[in-house]
């Protein structure tokens, strides 16, 4: 058995039964989703104290949202070194969640406060706040709309200027809902989502909500990396200019640039 299959079966064993049912369903109404593992292209330093909730990348700069009450921040980070260039610290009442880049702004969600924030991208200056009715988990921008997750199987579409909800989709694999959708990233016309609390990323059609792929990311961290306390995989960033995909996790000491490898 080659290494890719070993990783795949190890991931299957570790998954909750509900996710296994989703990914192994044989409904005739939908095509079987693609399955991927990964190849690490490059490893970068990541602040092991950063409770990563959101990640975005543009022009070699990493924007990161970190959570927990009293420790929530928005950061601008130098990709190559992991050095924090700028930081905005949120009031202790807020638990920061996902972020996305929209033009010259950064949009950030919070967990259960029903409040989001908008910042200047260049300075991280707070510009405004907005309200929403659900929990805030992940957010991304598809070129027209904001796409927001709330920890369920529902993705909400928002107007990026008014933040009014303009639509929603239910994410499903062969007619079964896929819940736990967390950090989001828009990649080549598809929505990528961390599936909390697993080491899975799911690829979603924004038109239908159908799952088009499962990405198994088991084994990214070494034993040495896990010597200190870590939390779950959470954080996806895509560099559209150079077609690079990055992932990390909460309290992880490393950020990984990866290539997806179809599992055959």
CA angle 137, 79, 216 (to 5 degrees): 50
First to last CA, the chain: 12
Hey, where are the domains in the chain?
3-262
Task: Indicate the pLDDT class of residue 30, thresholds 50, 70 and 90.
Answer: low
Q: Has residue 13 got a pLDDT over 80?
A: no
Q: Which residues have a Cβ under 8 Å from the Cβ of 208 and sit 6 or more positions away? A: 169
Taking the model in full, what pTM does it have? 0.90
Pick the CATH number of 3-262 from 2.120.10.30, 3.20.20.70, 1.20.1050.140, 3.40.50.2030: 2.120.10.30
| 3-state SS class at 14 | helix
Summarize pLDDT for 32-72 with one digit per residue, the tens: 999 999 999 999 999 999 999 999 999 999 999 999 999 99
Distance CA 232, CA 153 (A): 19
φ/ψ (deg, to 5) at 142:
-100, 15
pLDDT at position 41 is 98
What is the pLDDT averaged over residues 125-148? 98
With cut-offs at 50, 70 and 90, classify the pLDDT of residue 108.
very high
Q: What is the pLDDT confidence band of residue 25, given thresholds at 50, 70 and 90?
A: very low
Of all residues in the chain, what percent carry a pLDDT higher than 90? Answer: 88
Q: Which of 1-5, 53-57, 61-65, 248-252 has the lowest mean pLDDT?
A: 1-5
Instruction: Tell me which residue of 164, 172, 165, 207 sits closest to 189, measured CA to CA.
Output: 207
């Amino acid at each position: 058995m080659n290494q890719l299959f070993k990783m795949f079966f190890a991931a299957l064993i570790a998954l909750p039964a509900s996710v296994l049912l989703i990914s192994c369903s044989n409904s005739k109404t939908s095509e079987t989703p693609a399955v991927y593992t990964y190849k690490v292209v490059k490893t970068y330093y990541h602040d092991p104290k950063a409770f990563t909730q959101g990640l975005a990348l543009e022009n070699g700069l990493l924007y990161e949202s970190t959570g927990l009450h009293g420790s929530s921040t928005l950061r601008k980070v130098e990709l190559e070194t992991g050095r924090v260039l700028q930081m905005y610290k949120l009031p202790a009442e807020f638990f920061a969640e996902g972020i996305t880049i929209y033009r010259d702004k950064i949009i950030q969600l919070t967990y259960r406060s029903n409040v989001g924030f908008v910042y200047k991208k260049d300075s991280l200056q707070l510009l405004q706040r907005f309200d929403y009715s659900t929990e805030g988990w992940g957010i991304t921008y598809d070129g027209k709309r904001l796409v927001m997750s709330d920890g369920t199987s529902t993705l909400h579409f928002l107007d990026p200027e008014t933040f009014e909800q303009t639509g929603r989709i239910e994410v499903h694999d062969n007619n079964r809902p896929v819940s736990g959708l967390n950090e989001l990233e828009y990649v080549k016309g598809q929505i990528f989502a961390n599936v909390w609390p697993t080491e899975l990323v799911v690829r979603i059609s924004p038109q239908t909500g159908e799952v088009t792929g499962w990405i198994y990311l088991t084994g990214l961290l070494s034993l040495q990396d896990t010597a200190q306390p870590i939390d779950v995989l959470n954080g996806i960033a895509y560099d559209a200019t150079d077609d690079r995909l990055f992932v990390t996790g909460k309290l992880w000491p490393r950020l990984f640039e990866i290539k997806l490898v179809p599992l055959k």
